[in-house]
Structure 1
């Protein structure tokens, strides 16, 4: 299954109510969205027909997230929490806009992808789905930091190990899509600051000159699941219902984690 086919089906099974995309290019992935969306790229050249309510942002993702209320397009960014049960007044109670589905396909260097994840997680929750593109390079040349090939993933594959080491609370799924694989992340925690706190330390360890030493497990896609296996997993309905009901992490995350582990995912 090709990456855009997988992303199209992911929109369906996740029943996402909004969508954020980092890295627009010509709009081939953005055209899959049918919900209020934000798409960020400093040099987009959209030639595809877009069929969603979209805010196209011509800026770097760092500059976008530095804005006051960057998700304003998605129902105003913040809105009253309508909870009148037991006679409670909604006045003074607010909740943030939470991203349901996010796609990271910006600059193909791991430090940029890591910053994108850090920023997206601040606006996500345990029921959010975050996707990294180009995570499984086919050879060392594709994985170079200095691009010298047609197809290019850069060294964003390092995100797999970084999340595994520093964020074991997350569940990550390597997906065997063509041509260069994807990583789907579940269990976002907007209160977790580990990656931000250790950002400089991570850069010092992982920022090395070419040629990159790409692990054989990455090149051979060891542990990557067939895309259809993830799409057909039985947890999606429960995730959507729990998310839409606003269940807290304490009630929704553990059952999802257990269901994900049955799909043969990596942590």
Structure 2
């Protein structure tokens, strides 16, 4: 629906999600073991996401790779394809601990625009055991579900949508602001409040997915073509206000 022109994936594992990409991509994982065929121009990075984002130019591949849009760089005054490429779609599925996922979001947002789409995986644990920080189950989300709570609390400028996908849900975030420093300034206090020993106190509405929208409703919503158009035309952030009310919301 969104037709992204580049893609970042944090947490590659065996490549089952990365195999869906058909655009220039960067994929980060300290121990990836890709066993599926990939059909995109991809830079595989064997590193932690923290180390990756600490690099001077982490998205170098999206600027210098075999990008079909690279020819536009010389004609791109807004720098979509130039020296500071911006992410269009990012999928965060790295370490399943709250503080890691929050840092991943913060780092991804710095390389995004308001029209970017940021997806976090494993955001709807089905029971307390799956949400434990100390893994002791087969399926494991860890406590990354807290990222949605923190974003709603500290970043009301964003639209945070829980989606009832199987098995452990995703969250989509719209309206990224790379200039925001709210999370960075509050990071230490947030960690002190939210990183707590097991068992985790998972809200009942998360466990039963009370506020999650159905995938079909999200994909069938009418805002996608206008979001794509706003992205392609590089419309200013003010255009987000006209779109945010049309994005299916968690209740």
**What TM-score comes out, normalization by structure 1 length?**
0.88
Q: Distance in 2 between matches of 1:46 and 1:67?
A: 23
- SS of 2:43's partner is strand
Counterpart of 1:44? 32
Corresponding position of 1:257: 244
Q: Secondary structure at the residue paired with 1:195?
A: helix
1:24–1:41 contact (8 Å) kept in structure 2: yes
Distance 1:242 1:187 in 2: 12
Mean Cα deviation higher: 24-33 or 72-81? 72-81
Choose from 124, 138, 156 the match for 1:150: 138
Aligned to 1:65: 53
Partner of 1:82: 76
1:153-164 alignment, distance < 5 Å: 153-164=141-152
**Distance (Å, rounded) in 2 between the aligned partners of 1:51 and 1:69:** 24
Where 1:103 maps in the other structure, the secondary structure is strand
Counterpart check, 1:131 vs 2:119: yes
Aligned length: 242
173, 178, 184: which is aligned to 2:172?
184
Match of 2:41 among 29, 53, 56: 53
* Aligned Cα root-mean-square deviation (Å): 1.6
CA offsets 1:178-210 (integer angstroms, 9 cap, x no match)? 000000000000000111111100000001000
Whether the aligned pair in 2 keeps the contact of 1:80 and 1:95 (CA below 8 Å) is no
- Kept after mapping to 1: 8 A contact 2:63/2:84: no
Residue in 1 aligned with 2:206? 218
Unaligned runs of 5+ residues in structure 2 are none
Structure 1 regions of 5+ residues with no counterpart? Answer: 1-12, 84-89
Aligned-pair CA distance for 1:81: 5.5
Say whether 1:227 aligns with 2:212.
Answer: no
Contact 1:81/1:95 (<8 A) preserved:
no
- CA-to-aligned-CA distance 1:117-145 (integer Å, 9 cap, x gap): 00000000110000000000000000000
